[in-house]
Amino acid sequence: MKEKIDISAADLDDVLLVIRNNYGYDFSNYSRASLIRRVLRFMDTARIKTVYDLRFHLTNEPAFFAYFLQTITVNVTEMFRDPAFYHSLREKVLPKLAAYPIIKIWHAGCSSGEEVYSMCILLEEAGLLNRAVIYATDINPANIEKARSGIVPMHYMKDYTANYQQSGGKEDFSTYYTARYENALIRKDLRRNIVFSQHNLVTDQGFNEFQLVCCRNVLIYFNKTLQNHVFHLFYNSLPPMGYLALGMKESLLFTDLRDKFETVDATAKIFKRKK
Amino acid sequence: MPTSIDHIIVIGGSAGSLPVLLQVLENLPPNFSIPVIVVLHRLKNVASDLQGILASVQQTQKIKEPEDKEAIKRRHVYIAPQNYHLLVEADKTFSLDYSEPVHYSRPSIDVSFESVVRVFGPKTIAILLSGANQDGADGMEAVVAANGVAIAQSPETSEYPAMPVAAIEKNAKVKSMAPEKIVEYLHQLTVE
Ligand SMILES: C[S@@+](CC[C@H](N)C(=O)[O-])C[C@H]1O[C@@H](n2cnc3c(N)ncnc32)[C@H](O)[C@@H]1O
């Protein structure tokens, strides 16, 4: 039987402090329940047996920290994940965005890019891609590298095609990528207006104003305090009537800004900044 | 009965578990106030009105899928939403998590059981129902290790016994109970 490693709340605090002091990343306001699972999972894959060893390696080996950072964030994503959300974007948001001469969109926490490619496809189909600039950011540099490559594992394409169709997509999905052995390469022209960069929602400032901020399934990893901080960041990055899209299980319930937004689609979790 | 949240019940089920879950919920005592968390394996992107089905047999408890960071309340039955793992924070609020499926499942029963027991320790009552895989066995072990109560539906009453059997074989302290016994057990909790 595999022996169980465990880590106490105080141990976790110590580890987070080591990271903050050495590398400036502050995970102290992340959801603990999920973070503990990630740390235990990391220790398991990296074959680290004790918290003492974990702290030792984190303190002394920057490359070890880079590996830690890569695995500690939850990077799972999909193209056209939650088809109902994309359907709502098509119907309720894109027609409004069409009024702007330049459409600026921010994907905060874009992971390996699948969500961004999906947005580009929607924009292309709505005839808006030419006028759009899509900023795709993530805390995890390994994710940004992947997202830049435009490569998606081929074996997911069947699921993504189904998602796309459920979202109201009418085109032949296979025209959006070229298959190369086990990889699918998303067409380069679809990606032409994406700007990738590393950005940490905990410590970095806003950097532009956007007609749409998409931050899906990132806030669930933050506690209420940090969620509120990020909502302020988004609020200040939106013009009046600018859109904010969250994950299906995320809400504005716990931010003091909840009255400053109106609901565009309650199930798809699309909101709009009031005047 | 305690006034603040003290105990918690967490029920995991997979194939063949829905009728038993309904039986258990339908027969909860009317004054039952311990929060209940339900983690059922469901098909991805297939809308199923689980909330409506549960509400049809149980009207005194509020039945809902929790929002992220929502506080756990008494007289509530919470359903783990599709495509997310459901976790519990030390301040007794929910957290959702979109990490990799565990045992091909998201929500995973192990993930919820382990997370609940981390917070509620010996005050955890975990119930594992019928299912055709191994999810829940590790979680039940964690419950037992924390001196919580771990109940598996008896294999002979389970439509798909693999899941309860895996939990029972993994740990001798898992109690095996027929659905009526589970109902009785929950009644006796209210009396205590
Ligand atoms: C589960 S993925 C969500 C991906 C995509 N938005 C979706 O919904 O499919 C969460 C992402 O949030 C990123 N993330 C976590 N903490 C962050 C932070 N402080 N700043 C920016 N991104 C962060 C992670 O690196 C990860 O890529």
pLDDT at B1 over 50: no
Predicted confidence at residue A3, as pLDDT, reads 56
Whether residues A34 and B70 touch (CB distance < 8 A) is answered with no
pLDDT tens figures, A167-188: 999 999 999 999 999 999 999 9
- pLDDT tens by residue, A101-143: 999 999 999 999 999 999 999 999 999 999 999 999 999 999 9
Query: pLDDT tens, A31-50?
Result: 999 999 999 999 999 999 99
What is the predicted ipTM? 0.92
Structure tokens at A138: 């993530």
Chain B interface includes A28 (CB < 8 A): no
Domains present along chain B, CATH in parentheses: 20-187 (3.40.50.180)
Q: Environment class of residue A201 by beta-carbon count within 10 Å: exposed (0-12), middle (13-18) or buried (19+)?
A: buried
pLDDT of residue B49: 85
Identify how many contiguous H helices and E strands chain B contains and give both numbers. Answer: 6, 9
Q: What is the mean pLDDT of chain A?
A: 96
Q: What is the CA angle A97-A101-A106, rounded to 5?
A: 55
Domain map of chain A by residue range?
Answer: 9-72, 83-273
Q: Which residues line ligand 1 (CB under 6 A)?
A: A 73-78, 81, 109-111, 115, 138-140, 143, 200-202, 216-218, 221, 247; B 98
List the 28-47 stretch of B: residues with Cβ below 8 A of A.
Answer: 45
CA gap A215, A217 in Å, rounded: 7
Q: How confident is the model at residue B190 (pLDDT cuts 50, 70, 90)?
A: confident
Query: Which regions of chain B does DSSP assign to beta strands (E)?
Result: 8-13, 36-40, 62-64, 76-79, 85-88, 94-97, 124-128, 149-153, 175-177
- Spatial distance between the Cα atoms of B96 and B107, rounded to a whole number of angstroms: 10
Put simply, whether A253 touches B (Cβ < 8 Å) is yes
Under a CB-based contact definition with an 8 Å cutoff, are residues A210 and A237 in contact?
yes
Identify which of A140, A262, A115 has the alpha carbon closest to the alpha carbon of residue A201. A140
Residue B2, pLDDT above cutoff 80: no
* Predicted confidence band of residue A275 (pLDDT cuts 50, 70, 90): confident
In three-state secondary structure terms, A227 is helix
Residue B44: which pLDDT band, with cuts at 50, 70 and 90? low
CA-only gyration radius of chain A, Å: 20
Calpha distance A249→B86 (Å, rounded): 11
pTM: 0.94
Residue A234 CA to ligand 1 center (angstroms) comes to 15
Instruction: Tell me what pLDDT residue B42 has.
Output: 79
Count the residues in chain A: 275
Would you tell me which CATH number, out of the four given (3.40.50.300, 3.30.1490.190, 3.20.20.80, 3.40.50.150), belongs to the domain A83-273? 3.40.50.150
* DSSP character at residue B102: B
Radius of gyration of chain B (CA): 15
Q: Can you state the angle between helices B179-191 and B18-26, rounded to 10 degrees?
A: 30
* Helix, strand or coil, per DSSP, at residue A247: coil
